[in-house]
Amino acid sequence: MQKRLQEWYYDRGGGVFLAGAAEKGGSTKASFFAARDLQSSDPSEIWNVFHSLRRGIRRDLGVFESDADEKAVLESVKKKLGSYQS
């Protein structure tokens, strides 16, 4: 995954979409580097880190019309994930 994120960010210009500074917590760029550097096999941790990255990109691109829309989708995904845990 790290290799693919590196290629997307550096070789394909994906970094153009990332707002904020890497050092600023909560920024899309900080989320990118957190995902890139993640070393975990815990599905919950992996999901949370990549969800943060997806959320930042969606926010930067204006995919959701409102915070309520985003919250509804997030709740739906959390319920789905809950059904996979034992």
The tens digit of pLDDT for each residue in 32-63 reads: 889 989 999 998 899 999 998 888 888 887 77
Q: What is the pTM of this model?
A: 0.60
Higher pLDDT residue, 54 or 20?
54
| Higher per-residue confidence, 72 vs 11 | 72
- Percent above pLDDT 70 for the chain: 83
| Alpha-carbon span 23 to 12, nearest angstrom | 23
Among 15-24, 48-57, 71-80, the least confident range:
15-24
Instruction: Classify residue 57 by burial, with Cβ atoms within 10 Å: 0-12, 13-18, 19+.
Output: middle
CA–CA distance, 56 with 1 (Å, rounded to integer): 18
Average pLDDT score over the chain:
80
Distance CA 85, CA 83 (A): 6
Return the residue matching tokens 């990118």: 32
